[in-house]
Amino acid sequence: MAKPRIFVTQPIAESALKRLRKAGSVTINPDASRVMPKRALIAAVRRCDILFALLHDKIDQDVIAANPKLRMIAAMSVSPSHIDVAAATARRIPVTVIPVLQTETTADLCFGLMIAVARRMLEGDRLVRAGRFPGAQSSYLLGAPVHGKTLGLIGGGGAIGKAVARRARGFGMRVLYWTPRRKSVREERAAGLIYTPLDRLLRQSDFVSLHSPLNKATHHQIGAREFALMKKTAYFINTARGPIVDEAALTRALKAGQIAGAGLDVFEFEPKVSRALRRMPNVVLTPHLGSAVGEAREAMAHLVVDRIVAFLGGHKLDNCVNPQVFAL
């Protein structure tokens, strides 16, 4: 019996590939520098039985319809936000995701963005590379302190928000949080969080960091009204999901000086990032690096392989978003 054909949209950890090769005939797109173009993805799907997809791969109706014999879509993402689950379900194709593993790595990046934008580190890097050195006590790149300031976490009662709060304690920061469902007093005390209504949090915080999940209720949760409430000296940080923020409103707020700057790892229309944001010196931009740590990505890849192996073995699938396909 022929081995199932498995296509992986970008390179993954070799240890996970080794396991995958035991389960099937594996083909990999070798280019890790960009999201796979739709035309190439469709061509690859036509020649595979199982699709191993990454977060930014857009698995829409066209991709799913490209191969009537496609048996499974296994995504290395926490949610199927870029997958047309309805189209997959109609064709009885199970779609699997993975549990959250990037809590600490995302919290690291969040804090890194805060420091980088407030202390103007990237501007300094570019200056030195250009052969300029204003001097150790020059006022040319004066920034803002992080230590002792107030950090506001929106949707900050979850694992990543709490991980950011732990780091903030080492910087002597006061940590406010708001979430639609307040945590218990015991949980707040343990995490060092102070519950604060959203508008007050926006007015008081020196850094506002977004940690809400992306869903219909949180789309454009942060927009012109919210930026207008922030201090002119405050910085906005987003390591959650891009569409939670009205990016046009953020751009206007930055241009108008309503806020001091931003640190962004996610974008509303990623992988596209607006030219306006790319040109602003007071904005630090990273290409969705929240989980971009070798150990974390390796563990994530193994979780996807676990689900593929379970599927091929006829076992129950954890984190299957459309289990009804097995009853159809």
Respond yes or no: is residue 298 known to be catalytic: no
Q: From the CB of residue 96, how many other CB atoms can be counted at a distance below 10 Å?
A: 25
* Burial zone of 292 (CB within 10 Å; 0-12 exposed, 13-18 middle, 19+ buried): middle
Q: What is the DSSP letter of 222?
A: B
Respond yes or no: is residue 203 known to be catalytic: no
Is residue 250 classed as helix, strand or coil in its secondary structure? helix
Respond yes or no: is residue 270 known to be catalytic: yes
Q: Which of 71, 211, 241, 307 is catalytic?
A: 241
Q: What are phi and psi of 177, to 5 degrees?
A: -145, 150
Q: Which of 211, 288, 297, 307 is catalytic?
A: 288
Q: Which of 226, 247, 268, 270 is catalytic?
A: 270
Q: What is the DSSP letter of 4?
A: P
Q: What is the DSSP string of 271-315?
A: T---HHHHH-TTEEE-SS-TT-SHHHHHHHHHHHHHHHHHHHTTP
Q: Give the C-alpha distances (Å, rounded to integers) separating 261 from 146, 280, 306.
A: 13, 9, 42
Annotated catalytic sites, by residue? 241, 270, 288
